[in-house]
Chain A
Amino acid sequence: MEEPDPGTVRAAAGGDLRAFELLVRTYQAPVWRFLRRFLADDALAEDVTQETFVRVHAKLRSYDGRSRFSSWLFAIARNAGIDAVRSRDRRTRRESGQAPAPVASPEAGTELDAALAALSIDLREALLAVEVLGLSYVEAAALLGVPAGTVKSRVHRARERLLGWLAAGEATGG
């Protein structure tokens, strides 16, 4: 993932809305992609993407430049995503009295989305951190707050399960 121009980040932190808008426009697509895989819910992913950037705006002044900007940004996105999952699960429990099951949105439509939704959240977020965000095990470990070895085994287990569920890539031509 490309890093933004440090001047843009500084300007945005200093209150320049044009610079901040540039950051939003640069990163909204990867953040949304990550969240829609993470949440398996397109509409919720859009809301949480919005929430992520509102949080980014509030925290920009505290970004110290020691970690990569994209890592910092995705840590916020991931936390916003976890908050949304918890909130959704609480709501589901309250309304149905049952433990929530992962929900694949109808629009998602693909086998992959359904399979991802069926993974546990630990496996899913480890896989997405490495595959979608392109992080190394060490970087993903810092993001997820678990040891690097755990990331490695979770990513591998996630792959084994997904590949077990999915037919190989080429479908039936359309």
Chain B
Amino acid sequence: MADAVVCEAVRASISARADGEDVTVDRGHVEGCAGCAAFESGVRSLRGALRFDVLDDVPDVATAVLARVTPRRRRPRYWLPAAAVVVVVAGVVGGVLVWPSDEPGIGGVGGGVAEAAPVAERVVDAQDEVASVAATLVVTDTAGPRRGTLRYRAPESLELALGDTRVLVGDGAWRVEGPDGVDAHANVEPFAPGAPSPLDLVLPVSAFLVAGTPELLGERDAAVGVRVPAAQVAALLEGIGTEVHPSDPVDLWLDAEHLVPLEVTVRAGEGPDRARWAAARGIESEPGDVVLSVAYEDVRVNDALAVDGLAAPATDGAVDGGFRPGPSDEPVLGMQPWRSGTVGDVTVRSWTDGRAWVKVRSTTTWTGTRLFGGLGAVRAVRLGDGVAYVADGGRTIALHADGIDLVLTGSVAPETLRRFAVELGVVGERVPATWDEAAVVDVDDVDVVPRLLLLGDGAGFEPPAVRVDGDTVTATFAGAGERVVVLTTRVDDALRPPLDPDAVGVVARGTTARWSPTRGDLEWVEGGQVWSLRSSTVGLPELVALADGMGRDAVASSTVTTVAVPTEGSLLVWVPGGLPAGFADGLRTDAGLGATTVVLGDTVQHVASGGRRIPLDAIAVDCASWSAVVPVADAAAVCRLREDEVLLGTTSATLRGIGPGGVLELANGRVLRVAGVVDDAIVGAAELVLPRAGAAAAGVATERYVLATFTGDRADAEARIRALTDVGMRVRGPGETPWLRHGDAVLPQSHLKRVFGEFAAVFRSDGRLEIDPAWQAANLVTVDLPIVGSLQCHRALVDALAGALGELEQRGLVTTIDRGAAGCWNPRVIAGTDQPSRHAWGAAFDLLPLPSGPTLDAVVEVFERWGFTWGGRWVSADPVHFEYVGTPS
């Protein structure tokens, strides 16, 4: 046929055009030809899908490659930036925090075991007195024992020989010598964050600088012992080079006089997240097993002879760090000037006193739109006559002033660092309104604080960095070492669809909370707010304890609601595209699950005026098997249904405005009588619930999901289910999802209608919808959006979309968006079905071209924060698709 020939030529031109060839596409033909139009949008979707980057899944081959190209060399782990974990957590939130600068607030070094706090203070104070340390090390881990020697001279010189590796750090240079290679760096600025910094091997100052409530083990033989989580002494452990979990308990024995370590013992911790972490690394250990021990023998403190001959590292073949020495400074607060100079436009000055040090980096040419140094979550405090921005629990202070920006860091206590900042004589100003940190809630404006359930006293965290974005409040709590917890809360009565496919339910605060292991996120609903505690350095058991210990006075008990757990002990198994044959039987016979029931689901059409139809999301259940899996009272309601009767979900009943006795006429001629209303939680917020006997006549036939009861460990049950088949599936258990249904990553259609309205439409044969003009007039707006320009969208989505796109534009993450594909409002059905696309409501946004790599990660994070869910995480991934699931503003 001539048409087919024309179409083939047009499609070839579409293909070439998409690849940047200079050819003309016959637009007139494409607009009139559904097949060619579908091909054109298909090419775009395909590109998005192919370029799509699976988050978290990219394997890291760098270590293995380096091992192969330098076969015998072993690199100490402290080459990695020590603060990497903290940066990740802080980067998620950014923001500004406010807290009265001269009040301890919550947390703080004072709670917990009374005798333990002085140990922390003694460690920090002892550094002034430590001029040199020499010791013999005996390290024992799964690789067996290694012996080594450690020699240190304050403030920056160190020699560590351990196993077959030797590390040398000197003034402005460092060098690692392994059996097969040398890594050398010269002209390094003082106390450079990227340099090997095993100074905590000598005196673990960074573990005790800010809030931490170490459990006191006792005193013996002129030694004092404390127990802390590994994340708190991360700097010390990284110096040794054995990987441990951040929540593993560490027994640390310190010299009672000088507070130098004498003995370090790390044991395997507990909790499902720890077990999961160990399994991923092939580590076999039972809770309580010793996974690493370090003994310091023959320790000599301030014995000059013991460190005699400690030489500066040789600099042959060294990489130039760019530091150029300059004139030295004046003493400040009794600390002597140490190395000063420049790195490019940045002036670096430092002071020291024994092991203690302070560094100031400053520049007069800062043009960024966030604080110099990019500090992540900060809080504004009064400092002298001005304002300072404090990050990392007080371990970093930034000042923005007329013509100069500076950042102070150091190993001294936060209070000392603050006094140091005052001494500099720079009066800090508030950052300009366009900067990231500008949304400062005033120190006296504490209206936001009562809405926070703050972590309890003695939890071991500094006063939080608080950021307020509309209904959402974010508080970032820094603890000792690398411990960071981020608390967020927003006004909402239900969790959003889970972003982590491996989410599981746990009990916290007396309710069912959702734990997302890959995100380190614990979420629950309480008092009309959704709460989240998130951390990559604090394990699940401690997060649950923190949640349980949070203040309750802000939440009246009468308003406490709980996440619905409709089928305690039941799992939902969903396979996109339908269940494999015999799957439900296999769950019983091969996977050892208990009762099972298969739920059918499809979209049916309710007859409206003007030849239009209203799409309704219908499920059909078999009363006999269903009642064995769901609460009896509601099952009974289904069992009473006649073939031509139907139940409405609660949201559906509100939308329809009809109750028992009402009548629904379907487009296929079937007339259904409403027999009652059933709790959304039990039927996944379905709009219609039919008895199995009446399903076929109503046009509901697709097997969507199975519900199955299980006993014992939920993870084991899931593993047995997944072993049955290779097809992609999703398994949900109690508390893990707000809607026990298929496709729970997006709002159920009933909830979608609650937010975006319900429409009636003419369903055309080409897949287009002619939607009721009254709905269009009431719901659609044409707005001018950042990056993409003028677009027609649903009004409920506009603020969030404009916010997300504005942030993407401001941060330079996305510079162009394909307008034609953006499809904010696009009235059509999902190809191959009669189910309206979410684009028909204007509830989703397609981002093309889709960025990749770290940029995509950042883009997804932005959209998620603005209330969108990302199709890239779905079982059948649609990576260009961002769908609004948040509460409309």
Indicate, yes or no, whether A interacts with B: yes
Q: Which of B20, B49, B838 contacts A112 (CB 8 A)?
A: B49
Q: Are A49 and B61 in contact (CB under 8 A)?
A: yes
Report the minimum CB–CB distance from B514 to chain A (whole Å): 16
Q: Are A159 and B15 in contact (CB under 8 A)?
A: yes
Closest B residue to A50 by CB, please name it: B61
Is A90 an interface position by the 8 A CB rule? no
Q: Are A163 and B51 in contact (CB under 8 A)?
A: no
Q: Given the interface contacts A57-B69, A136-B20, does A110 sit within 8 Å of B876 by beta carbon?
A: yes
The 8 A CB mask of B52-90 against A (1 = contact, 0 = none) is 010000111110111011100000000000000000000
Q: Are A24 and B746 in contact (CB under 8 A)?
A: no
Closest A residue to B880 by CB, please name it: A169
The 8 A CB mask of B10-21 against A (1 = contact, 0 = none) is 011001100111
Is B663 an interface position by the 8 A CB rule? no
Report the minimum CB–CB distance from A70 to chain B (whole Å): 13
Q: Are A16 and B319 in contact (CB under 8 A)?
A: yes
Is B179 an interface position by the 8 A CB rule? no
Q: Are B65 and A50 in contact (CB under 8 A)?
A: yes
11 A-B interface contacts by CB (under 8 A) = A24-B65, A33-B53, A54-B68, A127-B50, A152-B19, A156-B15, A168-B45, A168-B831, A170-B839, A173-B883, A174-B874
Q: Are B50 and A174 in contact (CB under 8 A)?
A: no
Q: Tell me the residues in window 27-55 of chain B with beta carbons closer than 8 Å to chain A beta carbons.
A: 38-39, 41-43, 45-51, 53
Q: Which of B12, B58, B728, B746 contacts A29 (CB 8 A)?
A: B58
Is B234 an interface position by the 8 A CB rule? no
Is A101 an interface position by the 8 A CB rule? no
Taking CB atoms, residues of chain A closer than 8 Å to B330 are none
When chains A and B are docked, how far (Å) is the Cα of A94 from the Cα of B65? 30
Taking CB atoms, residues of chain A closer than 8 Å to B227 are none
Is A3 an interface position by the 8 A CB rule? no
Q: Are A21 and B50 in contact (CB under 8 A)?
A: no
Taking CB atoms, residues of chain A closer than 8 Å to B726 are 106
The 8 A CB mask of A132-172 against B (1 = contact, 0 = none) is 10001100000000000000100110011011001111111
Taking CB atoms, residues of chain A closer than 8 Å to B43 are 159, 163
Taking CB atoms, residues of chain A closer than 8 Å to B881 are 169-170
Q: Are B183 and A17 in contact (CB under 8 A)?
A: yes
Report the minimum CB–CB distance from A128 to chain B (whole Å): 7
Is B744 an interface position by the 8 A CB rule? yes
Taking CB atoms, residues of chain A closer than 8 Å to B45 are 168-169
| B residues at A contact (CB < 8 Å) | 11-12, 15-16, 19-21, 38-39, 41-43, 45-51, 53, 58-62, 64-66, 68-70, 181, 183, 319, 497, 574, 576-577, 726-728, 730, 742-746, 830-832, 835, 837-839, 846, 852-853, 871, 874-878, 880-881, 883
Q: Given the interface contacts A17-B181, A160-B11, A168-B832, does A24 sit within 8 Å of B61 by beta carbon?
A: yes
When chains A and B are docked, how far (Å) is the Cα of A137 from the Cα of B839? 34
When chains A and B are docked, how far (Å) is the Cα of A128 from the Cα of B50? 8
When chains A and B are docked, how far (Å) is the Cα of A130 from the Cα of B50? 10
When chains A and B are docked, how far (Å) is the Cα of A172 from the Cα of B59? 29
Is A74 an interface position by the 8 A CB rule? no
Q: Given the interface contacts A17-B66, A152-B16, does A170 sit within 8 Å of B61 by beta carbon?
A: no
Q: Are B875 and A174 in contact (CB under 8 A)?
A: yes
When chains A and B are docked, how far (Å) is the Cα of A33 from the Cα of B746? 27
Is A25 an interface position by the 8 A CB rule? yes
Q: Are A162 and B875 in contact (CB under 8 A)?
A: no
Q: Are B66 and A32 in contact (CB under 8 A)?
A: no
Point out which of B62, B65, B877 has the most chain A C-beta atoms below 10 A from its C-beta.
Answer: B65
Report the minimum CB–CB distance from B7 to chain A (whole Å): 11
Report the minimum CB–CB distance from A156 to chain B (whole Å): 4
Q: Are B62 and A21 in contact (CB under 8 A)?
A: yes
Q: Tell me the residues in window 84-125 of chain A with beta carbons closer than 8 Å to chain B beta carbons.
A: 106, 109-112
Is A18 an interface position by the 8 A CB rule? yes
When chains A and B are docked, how far (Å) is the Cα of A53 from the Cα of B70? 13
Taking CB atoms, residues of chain A closer than 8 Å to B181 are 17
The 8 A CB mask of A1-26 against B (1 = contact, 0 = none) is 00000000001000011101100110
Taking CB atoms, residues of chain B closer than 8 Å to A131 are 46-47, 50-51
Q: Are B874 and A32 in contact (CB under 8 A)?
A: no
Is A28 an interface position by the 8 A CB rule? yes
Q: Are A136 and B19 in contact (CB under 8 A)?
A: yes
Is A37 an interface position by the 8 A CB rule? yes
When chains A and B are docked, how far (Å) is the Cα of A32 from the Cα of B54? 11
Q: Are A174 and B319 in contact (CB under 8 A)?
A: no
Report the minimum CB–CB distance from A160 to chain B (whole Å): 7
When chains A and B are docked, how far (Å) is the Cα of A167 from the Cα of B846? 17
Taking CB atoms, residues of chain A closer than 8 Å to B832 are 167-168
Closest B residue to A32 by CB, please name it: B58
Taking CB atoms, residues of chain A closer than 8 Å to B831 are 167-168, 170
Taking CB atoms, residues of chain B closer than 8 Å to A171 are 576, 830, 871, 874-878
Q: Are B852 and A20 in contact (CB under 8 A)?
A: no
When chains A and B are docked, how far (Å) is the Cα of A162 from the Cα of B51? 15
Q: Are A17 and B70 in contact (CB under 8 A)?
A: yes
Report the minimum CB–CB distance from B578 to chain A (whole Å): 10
Q: Are B830 and A168 in contact (CB under 8 A)?
A: yes
Closest B residue to A157 by CB, please name it: B15
Report the minimum CB–CB distance from A135 to chain B (whole Å): 9
Q: Given the interface contacts A21-B62, A50-B65, does A172 sit within 8 Å of B576 by beta carbon?
A: yes
Q: Are A173 and B746 in contact (CB under 8 A)?
A: yes
State the 7 A-B residue pairs at the shortest beta-carbon distance, nearest first: A174-B745, A173-B743, A168-B831, A109-B728, A169-B45, A171-B876, A106-B726
Taking CB atoms, residues of chain A closer than 8 Å to B574 are 174
Taking CB atoms, residues of chain B closer than 8 Å to A28 are 58-62
Report the minimum CB–CB distance from A133 to chain B (whole Å): 10
When chains A and B are docked, how far (Å) is the Cα of A112 from the Cα of B871? 14
Taking CB atoms, residues of chain A closer than 8 Å to B874 are 171, 173-174
Q: Which of A106, A109, A112, A132 contacts B875 (CB 8 A)?
A: A109
Point out which of B15, B181, B831, B832 has the most chain A C-beta atoms below 10 A from its C-beta.
Answer: B15
Q: Given the interface contacts A130-B19, A156-B15, does A18 sit within 8 Å of B53 by beta carbon?
A: no
Taking CB atoms, residues of chain B closer than 8 Å to A137 are 19, 21
Q: Which of B728, B742, B838 contacts A170 (CB 8 A)?
A: B838
Point out which of B45, B46, B574, B730 has the most chain A C-beta atoms below 10 A from its C-beta.
Answer: B46
Report the minimum CB–CB distance from B723 to chain A (whole Å): 11
Closest B residue to A1 by CB, please name it: B852
**A18-B319, A163-B42 provided; 19 other pairs, C-beta below 8 A?**
A24-B61, A28-B59, A29-B58, A30-B852, A50-B61, A53-B62, A110-B876, A110-B877, A112-B46, A156-B11, A156-B12, A156-B15, A160-B11, A166-B46, A168-B38, A168-B42, A170-B878, A171-B874, A174-B743
Closest A residue to B876 by CB, please name it: A171
Report the minimum CB–CB distance from A35 to chain B (whole Å): 11
Taking CB atoms, residues of chain A closer than 8 Å to B64 are 50
Q: Are B830 and A170 in contact (CB under 8 A)?
A: yes
Closest A residue to B729 by CB, please name it: A109
Q: Are A155 and B15 in contact (CB under 8 A)?
A: yes
Q: Are B730 and A174 in contact (CB under 8 A)?
A: yes
Q: Are A50 and B58 in contact (CB under 8 A)?
A: no
Report the minimum CB–CB distance from A69 to chain B (whole Å): 16
When chains A and B are docked, how far (Å) is the Cα of A162 from the Cα of B42? 9
Q: Are A169 and B49 in contact (CB under 8 A)?
A: yes
When chains A and B are docked, how far (Å) is the Cα of A64 from the Cα of B853? 27
Report the minimum CB–CB distance from A155 to chain B (whole Å): 6
Closest B residue to A45 by CB, please name it: B59
When chains A and B are docked, how far (Å) is the Cα of A156 from the Cα of B880? 21
Taking CB atoms, residues of chain A closer than 8 Å to B875 are 109, 171, 174
When chains A and B are docked, how far (Å) is the Cα of A32 from the Cα of B50? 13
Closest B residue to A160 by CB, please name it: B11
Taking CB atoms, residues of chain A closer than 8 Å to B53 are 29, 33
Closest A residue to B830 by CB, please name it: A170
Report the minimum CB–CB distance from B354 to chain A (whole Å): 32
Taking CB atoms, residues of chain A closer than 8 Å to B577 are 172
Q: Are B41 and A173 in contact (CB under 8 A)?
A: no
Q: Are A169 and B66 in contact (CB under 8 A)?
A: no
Closest B residue to A37 by CB, please name it: B50
Closest B residue to A174 by CB, please name it: B745
Report the minimum CB–CB distance from A141 to chain B (whole Å): 12
Closest A residue to B846 by CB, please name it: A169
